[in-house]
A and B are shown apart, each in its own frame.
Chain A
Amino acid sequence: MTFLKINNLSVNYEMRRETVYAAKKVNINVEKGEILGLVGESGSGKSTVGNAIINLIDEPGKVSGGSIILDGTDIYENPENILKLRGKKIGLIFQDPQTSLNPILTIGEQLIETIQTHLKLSTEEAKNKAINLLKEVGIKDAETRFNNYPHQFSGGMRQRVVISLALCCEPELLIADEPTTALDVSIQSQILDLIKRLTKERNLAVILITHDMGVISETTSRVAVMKNGDLVEIGPTKEILTKPKEIYTKALVSSVPPTNKKIDRFKIIEKENKTQGETNIKILNRWTKKDIIDQDLVKVKNLCKTFDDNFFTESTKNSVMAVDDVSFNIKEGESFGLVGESGSGKSTIAKMIVNLYSPSAGDIDFDNVCITKIKSNKEMMKFRKQIQMIFQDPYSSLNGRLKVKDIVSEPIKLHNPSISSKDIDSYIYDLLESVELTQQSAERYPHEFSGGQRQRISIARALATQPRLLVCDEPTSALDVSIQAQILNLLKDLQEQLNLTILFISHDLPVVRQMCDRIAVLKNGKLCEISKTEELFKNPSHDYTKELLTLMPKIESIYN
């Protein structure tokens, strides 16, 4: 008998004007002891299916048809059923370990409460069980950590606590909703190994919801692909990834950046975008193009940055070395990658180069002028114009109360106060068309755009001052793979046409491989190695780089 059977499940969100179908007649079966992957881009309904199983769909969504049968019990037949199953038979893990624990209760209190809700144990017995569980998920020193609050744990440790909470009453089905998306590669592989191990040891049925094809190919035995609420395809992982039957699956697989080779351009999911490329970069006419000189545009020399914890007394005890003696050069016209896990100092370096932070020690030269020593604002302006930045989060980096027109025109006016308003308009239109947005978008507000489109607006804003150096801090990590492919293609085109120099910061190794000519690897503020991209991937010299490369989830692993 099938352990979990999802029959023709439909979920509707009834909005004021329309009804959104988040899931349409989805059929999925899951057996004990297997990990089923559920992939799709944002809005595909993959999380909705997960939430429907545990009957926790956010308002105003509701299940409008179909049934979910878990081990012979129909979850929606009687609303009482699910209350007995939650925690006891079904465990759920959320994406963000930072927010899924109650901040003012110790993890021990949270564990004991959960255990005592479902199992008839005394507080002492529950405590013992909880401590054993914490040990099982790999938390060292569990007895003392038991009394700690969530904020005293790191992200990876917190996710372990979350897993122990989900598993504490021995559920038979585990739903993991993007369990590793918020974590670093090395932590991610540990957590995935943990889930795999527990699946085997406890004979769990696991549904792993993710957008990461690499994770899918390394962890799951079967995979279901979803798009706009429809189940596109379901089958053994190897078959789906190597011989996809549906067009959508094919496109999705092909837009994942390959980890084993460098390609020129990403394949784009939407076929309509056929006139990609050269002709549409209108801004070229206005661009005062500088020829690439064979020189180092940026020279970073012995850069250091410390953050003092204590504002009043600069005690060295609490200070954090965010960047520790880092030196590198970026050649004009090249794409330079900066790779590292969270806390490695890569964003701090970027902020020092665009002069949002001032370094504690060391110098940054731009075009042979030391920009860290410039005191006057006026002098600095000349360089700010030439260095522009694209931020990670396209939602918070655009002012929601300004029209796109105003967002893009602000830097133009700032650096060229004498420009006429007619000129500005046509300038803006050219910029927007160069990033493949329509002229009409100028009159709209940022919230009317999707994440990918917003990131295009950010790029247009960055290009408005005609910079020579573009600093991209994780420009695609908040985006879906297919959108990511589009944005990366756009950046490549722009770089080629406009002779830009790009500093590309990312934790995503496959993406860096596709984008960059040379790569620097950072760990805890220290530089591990710099080498040419292909060399780095084929013969990494530093141990840490080797480790990162082996931990990176590889979609290709399925072919072997």
Chain B
Amino acid sequence: MVMLVVAFVSFSLFNFVGDPINNMVGEETSDEERAELRETLGLTDPIYVQFTRFVGNAAKGNFGISYQLKRPVSELISERLPATIELVLISALIALVSGTLLGVYTGINRKGFLSDIILAISLLGVSLPTFVIGILFIYLFAVILGILPSFGRGEVVSLGYWTTGFLTLSGLKAIILPSVTLSLFQMTYIIRLVRAEMMEILQTDYIKFARARGISEKSIHYKHALKNGLIPVITIAGINIGTLIAFSIITETVFQWPGMGFLFIQAVQFVDIPIMSAYLVFIAFVFVMINFIVDILYYFIDPRIRVKAEAVSG
């Protein structure tokens, strides 16, 4: 359902943001040639026929040909996809792991000095725009210290359809700055969420009851409290991985990362509509998939949902 709506929006991009024929052909094309092209591209068909065709093609992964680069969009995307996926994956990992750990720490040691510092820094992470942080990082680590590269992906190894930067030293070095920059915003979000959840859960009766039974503090914090606290975190994290991809446009631009976001920015500059619409459909697809995965995760984490599901099916 969501996918259909998004497909329609990106389809209308094609048709209503300027005349596609105008974008394709040069100044000197005659009106007859234009009409002929229109006919061969099927642009004279009624809207719904065009839309059905668009959806059908999109389902097959065919988004047409880029105006600017004159290559099939699907080819361009599959070329750039690994870079973005790797970047987002690493950032999500950094954000989730360190966010949860720091969140638990600040939730338990509410009044400690270290907690105050973590929270103060996390406030910076929320309030500074991603590109400012990126530029600061480049300045500090690439320009002044000179230990990390400031742009690009480094050397990549090609594994069939997939190109990866994980297998070379320069590739690994190159991913540090962009992924940390990208993860910072999400991380602060998760820190604060986990902290709030932990603080609330540590006040509940069942934690008090666990204490009264003499259960060790370690088990109370990590087994009893954290597991309960993770339920809302998963929801937010799911939505946020989608946001990470969206934010990656900025990060990729700052670091000249050859990913999809960078491709998209270039496409916008040249009004390269096939790429833009393909990007839109792709992002929507990722969001839907992530939500689906989150729902499945719920089922495993929260027994209450499991029982409800069984009751409905049984």
Contacts and interface: CB of A to CB of B under 8 A. Distances in A.
Q: Which of A100, A118, A165, A310 has the most CB of B within 10 A?
A: A100
Contact of B215 (A87, A99, A104, A318): A87
Interface string B68-111: 00000000000000000000000000000000000000000000
B59 interface: no
B305 to A, nearest CB: 10
Interface string A143-183: 00000010110000000001001101100000000000000
Given A86-B211, A94-B205, A100-B206, A318 B311 contact: yes
Interface string A90-129: 1110101001111111100010011001100000000000
Contacts of B204: 99
A84 B215 CA distance: 10
Nearest to B203: A58
Contact of A101 (B206, B216, B311): B206
Interface residues of B, number: 25
Contacts of A96: 205
Interface stretch (B251-259, B265-273, B280-288, B296-304): B296-304
Interface string B211-242: 11111100100011001100100000000000
A94 B215 contact: no
A54 B212 contact: yes
Interface string A299-339: 00000000001100000001000000000000000000000
B303 to A, nearest CB: 4
A149 B307 contact: yes
Contacts of A83: 214
Nearest to A88: B214
A238 B262 CA distance: 84
B214 A118 contact: yes
B210 interface: yes
Q: Is the interface of A mostly helix, strand, loop or mixed?
A: loop
A87 B227 contact: no
Given A86-B212, A102-B224, A114-B214, A149 B304 contact: yes
Given A87-B215, A117-B214, A94 B303 contact: no
A309 B219 CA distance: 37
B303 A56 contact: no
A104 B209 contact: no
Contacts of B311: 309, 318
B144 interface: no
B205 A99 contact: yes
A168 B227 CA distance: 24
A104 B212 contact: no
B34 interface: no
Contacts of A88: 214
A162 B209 contact: yes
A87 B302 CA distance: 27
Nearest to B312: A310
Nearest to A165: B213
A152 B210 CA distance: 20
A86 B213 contact: yes
Interface residues of A, number: 37
A229 to B, nearest CB: 21
B38 interface: no
A166 B215 CA distance: 12
B303 A104 contact: yes
Contacts of A162: 209
B212 A87 contact: yes
A110 B214 CA distance: 12
A117 B213 contact: yes
Given A104-B227, A105-B224, A310-B312, A151 B307 contact: yes
Given A94-B209, A102-B224, A102-B228, A151 B303 contact: yes
Contact of B208 (A56, A85, A91, A168): A56
A102 B206 contact: yes
Contacts of A101: 206, 209
B212 A117 contact: no
Q: Which of B208, B213, B228, B303 has the most CB of A within 10 A?
A: B213
B144 to A, nearest CB: 46
A104 B304 CA distance: 8
A87 B213 contact: yes
Contact of B214 (A86, A102, A103, A318): A86
A103 B206 CA distance: 9
A106 B311 CA distance: 18
A118 B210 CA distance: 13
Nearest to A151: B304
B210 A104 contact: no
B304 A87 contact: no
A90 B216 CA distance: 15
A126 to B, nearest CB: 14
A104 B208 contact: no
B301 A104 contact: yes
A172 B216 CA distance: 20
A58 to B, nearest CB: 8
B215 to A, nearest CB: 6
B299 to A, nearest CB: 12
Contact of B211 (A56, A168, A169): A56
Contact of A113 (B211, B212, B219, B303): B219
A104 B219 CA distance: 14
Nearest to A85: B214
A246 B231 CA distance: 53
A100 B205 contact: yes
Contacts of A84: 214
B215 A114 contact: yes
Contacts of A117: 213-216, 219
19 contacts: A86-B212, A86-B213, A87-B214, A91-B212, A99-B204, A99-B205, A100-B205, A100-B206, A100-B209, A103-B228, A104-B231, A105-B224, A105-B227, A114-B214, A114-B215, A149-B303, A166-B212, A168-B213, A169-B214
Q: Which 10 A-B pairs have the closest CB atoms?
A: A87-B214, A86-B214, A87-B213, A92-B212, A99-B205, A149-B303, A100-B209, A100-B205, A102-B206, A114-B213
Given A92-B213, A104-B302, 10 more contacts: A56-B212, A83-B214, A94-B208, A94-B209, A100-B208, A104-B228, A104-B301, A149-B307, A168-B213, A310-B312
